[in-house]
Amino acid sequence: MNRRPGPLVTAVGRALDVLPTILALIAEGSWIAVVYALLRGASHEWIELGPVVLAGFAGAGLLIGRVLAPRLGGRWPAWAVVITVLAAAAGWLNAATTWSALLSPTPTAALGVNPGGWITGLAFLRGLGYARPSSPDGAVRSPMPVGLPAVVVSFLIGGLIAEPGRTVFRDAALVSTIVFVATATLALALTRASTLGRASGFDWRGNRTWFGLLLVFVTGILVVAVPASYAVGPAVMVVIAALPVPLFFLGLTVGLDRRLLRVLLVLLAVVAVLVVIVRLIGPHPGGPDAGGATGGAAGPTATPDWLTLVGGVFVLVLAAIAVGALAAIWMRQAPAPDDGAVAEERTIDHGVGSTSRTPRRFHLRLRRQREPTDASSAYLATLRELAADPPLERRADETPAEHARRLRSSGAGARFGAAVDLLAADYELVRFGASALTPGEHRRALGRWRRIRALVHRRPTAG
Amino acid sequence: MSEVALGIFLVVIASFLGVPAIILLGLVLVATGAVQEVWGRRGLDGIEYRRHLPSPHGIVGDEIAIDISVWNRKALPLAWLKADDEAAAGVVVRERDLVRAESGESVLRNAWTLAPYERVVRHFHVLAERRGVYRIGPAQLAVGDLLARPAATGASPGIDVWTVRPRSVAVRAVVSDQRWGGELKARRGLLDDPTRYAGIRPYQPGDPLRGIHWRATARLGHPVSKRFDPARQREVVVALDIETGIGPAGADRYDDELVESLCVAAASLVRQLRAEGATVGLAAAAHSEGTRTMAYVAPGGSEGQLGRCLDLLARLSSFPSAPFERLLAMLVRSVSPATSLVVLSARDPSPYLPALRGIERSGYPVWHLGFGPAAPALIARARAAAIASSPAQLDGPWRTATALLVGP
């Protein structure tokens, strides 16, 4: 589309450009928040920093890296170390216990206080990584390769913490994990699409269906997986516990050779070792560590606070709907992708004579979504409207101008006046004349399309 | 599948340890793995990838339009679809730089994001910078899944070929009485075509008796003969000596600018001869397509003859495939008697002058055109051997020249 974007549209376009980075920074903050929660839980302290604050540190790292790295040149690495230490110190000083220790007669003891606070330095450092220019081989920076193992290991270690630190950790870390999963998945997908798009000339913002489906997928999987994560554990335990028996009888039926027998024995040994380990390191329901509001840390049968869970899922769905609506609005307002000088035409084409099994109502909704956005698509949309009426339909051997002339001269199309002519002229200018229309011309063309659509759908008056 | 396996592993381990958060991560991994599997199986289904080349011919300096269209004929959206079209050496796309693929080939890389049933057409222009035959395709396709990860790959086998013909410029003869057909008396005159009756003329001694129009003779009272249009027009073969004198025949050392200039000059001569109504052919001792060592278009007067000659020049290798004398010997065996031979050469004619003299003695009018900066010396040698020779020169570099000047 040949329109000159206004300042608002440009700003919206930039906001969408940085959306993957913002999501990646939130994901970084989230997994670091899990590690932070582990450190605080282990020292039986309150959680003072959440994913948002840590994402802010990562964002600060990104901004400072982008601003200072080009200016400082070869001195940047040394400065980066200094600034990262400062960022870590800021996190450390954020706790009241640190200040009280510093103001005590032995201030050096403060160094052993609030070890989790130093983790802001890690968040800042991760943010610095996003300040680097894009890799020439198109490799995508993602929080997933580091974040996922860190979260898993944190939860594994977190199971060893004595109560109430374990409950504190798990409560805080679960929220951070959900945020991490959602933002890291979205960030990874959008960053991949953006990186490839920049290199190869497309813009993911043009594909609302894909983005919508991505949002639905991420939301849906969390809505299903969060409650399921509490239900799957016991079910898996039951299945695994019951598995050797049918396997044994199956083996007897088909005949156990030495190799199969060896495999089965190894499996049984592994299961036995796992059970022993769990018994040894896991919390004991009746032990002194048991307790806490959730009590859920007490083994595979952990039960969640269902009210909190349902509420969290509800908030999650609302957030997803809000993000989807905002993104849809932004994508509509964002400037058209600029792919150098390559002229491109996009149409939705179901093919000639294709029969769709989609219900009619769904059809109507899709059609509304495909409303034209410029003069050229307004003309094509007009042709679709006119195609419903054979006398008005553009024939295969007609040029746009000839078709418009026939309509104007015929009785059936006279009601449109010169609207079809003007739309056809706009289309020919854009398509064949490579001319740029002004935003006003696009707006007027869309108005003509609406008028024609209204006339086509108007019922004939009686008499 | 490794992602699904990792997810299942996490779910099992976390079930043992009773950590719902890790079960959650495991379930997410399983789901994302399943998504990749679905897109891997279905991603390339219903993808229609096409290139459209409106015209397979172009002339040096042209921009040849090429449209690339892709159609996602299914309800599954694609985060991206990437197509790498293999491009032959020398292909230049105006809108986009070619990139080097993992295989080392130069490729025209395109990527799209595709909604369900979306069709996208991109209009590219290929710059015809040098004569030759160019190819684009086949294309390697790859699609991304819902999370924009690579999901499936495939190939679109079609290949598009286009020919870039050399430029042709106006031929200006410096002297007005320039001749193409030769001043020597032909052994055979033009043949009349008995189907092309064109009237009567007074009888001349020597006219065959069957050519006398008896009824008109009786009516007019004096003998008249039937007149027919000629069955065949002047026949000329342009023999292009592609050798530039740098290396021996068969060696791939050549003066590139001079070779291209020779091709422009040859194309201009052929076009001029066709415009004058001559039946024209073209020959060169160089490789064109195939394994033949001689490139030859037999004289013809059809509409497409000029195109055939220009296509031959487009395909011609820049270095000779055989000695020029061998080409001359082949021509004598191939062309009809009285066919004029125009030899266009930019090197010392001494090696093939004996062959030219022999051809002329056999009754074929020969005209040598000395081309290039050394033209005066070349034509002097040819004239010394009693071969009619003239200098021929472009009025500028071959890319921008506007005329071929053929001097006295």
CB contacts, 8 Å: A160 with chain B: none
CA neighbor of A173 nearest in space, from A49, A279, A295: A49
Q: In DSSP terms, which residues pair with B240 in a beta bridge?
A: B284, B344
Mean pLDDT (whole number) for B374-386: 91
Residues in CB range of A68: below 8 A, 6 or more apart:
A76, A79, A83
A339 pLDDT above the threshold of 80:
no
Q: How far apart are CA A441 and CA A9, in angstroms?
A: 18
A188 Cβ under 8 Å from any chain B Cβ: yes
Q: What pLDDT band is residue B166 in, cutting at 50, 70 and 90?
A: very high
- Radius of gyration in angstroms for the set of CA atoms belonging to chain B, rounded to a whole number: 33
Is some CB atom of chain A closer than 8 A to the CB atom of B25? yes
pLDDT in tens, B238-268: 999 998 866 555 556 788 899 999 999 999 9
Chain B CB contacts of A304 under 8 Å are 20
Nearest to B17 among A159, A204, A342 (CB): A159
Verify whether the Cβ–Cβ distance A340 to B96 is below 8 Å. Answer: yes
- Which pair of tokens denotes residue B98? 């070619």
Q: Residue A370 above 50 pLDDT?
A: yes
Residues B160, B91 contacting (CB under 8 angstroms) = no
As a whole number of angstroms, the distance between CA A366 and CA A382 comes to 16
Is the confidence at residue A286, as pLDDT, over 50? no
Set of chain A residues whose Cβ sits within 8 Å of the Cβ of B19: 155-156, 158-159
A301 to chain B: which residues are within 8 Å by CB? 18
Residues A345 and B121: their CA atoms lie apart, in Å, by 5
Beta bridge mates, B342: B238, B367
> Residue A436: its pLDDT value, please?
80
Confidence at residue B48, expressed as pLDDT on a 0 to 100 scale = 93
Say whether pLDDT at B118 is over 80. yes
- Percentage of residues of chain B with pLDDT beyond 90: 56
Whole-number CA gyration radius for chain A = 31
Q: Do A184 and B28 meet the contact criterion of CB atoms below 8 Å apart?
A: no
Q: What's the gap in Å between the CA of B27 and the closest CA on chain A?
A: 6
Tell me the pLDDT tens digit for each residue of A59-86: 999 999 889 888 888 888 888 889 998 9
Q: Cβ(B11)–Cβ(B27) under 8 Å?
A: yes
3-state secondary structure of B140: strand
Strand partners, B132: B164
A192 → closest Cβ in B16, B114, B149: B149
Helix H or strand E segment including A449: helix A439-457
Among B21, B31, B144, the residue with its CB nearest the CB of A155 is B21
Q: What is the pLDDT of residue B220?
A: 92
User: A residues 300-329 near B, CB within 8 Å?
Assistant: 300-302, 304
Q: Given CB atoms, is A206 within the 8 Å cutoff of chain B?
A: yes
Q: Report the mean per-residue pLDDT for chain B.
A: 87
Asked if A193 lies within 8 A of B79 by C-beta distance, the reply is yes
- CB within 8 Å of A432: residues ≥ 6 apart: none
Does A221 sit within 8 Å of B146, measured CB to CB? Answer: no
pLDDT tens digits, residue range A421-463? 999 998 888 877 777 888 888 889 999 998 888 888 775 544 3
Select the residue of A224, A232, A296 nearest B15 (Cβ to Cβ): A232
Best residue in A155, A185, A313 to probe B by mutation, most B CBs within 10 Å? A155
B23 closest CB neighbour out of A148, A233, A351: A233
From chain B, the residues in CB contact with A190 under 8 A are 148
Output the CA angle A430-A328-A19, nearest 5 degrees.
100
Cβ contact B27–A229 (<8 Å): yes
Q: What is the rounded CA–CA span in Å between residue A197 and residue A134? A: 13
Measure B399 CA to nearest chain A CA, in Å.
Answer: 25
Distance of CA B381 to the CA centre of its chain: 34
d(CA B262, CA B270): 12
pTM given for the model: 0.69
**Chain B interface, best mutation among A170, A192, A278, A365, by max B CB count within 10 A:** A192
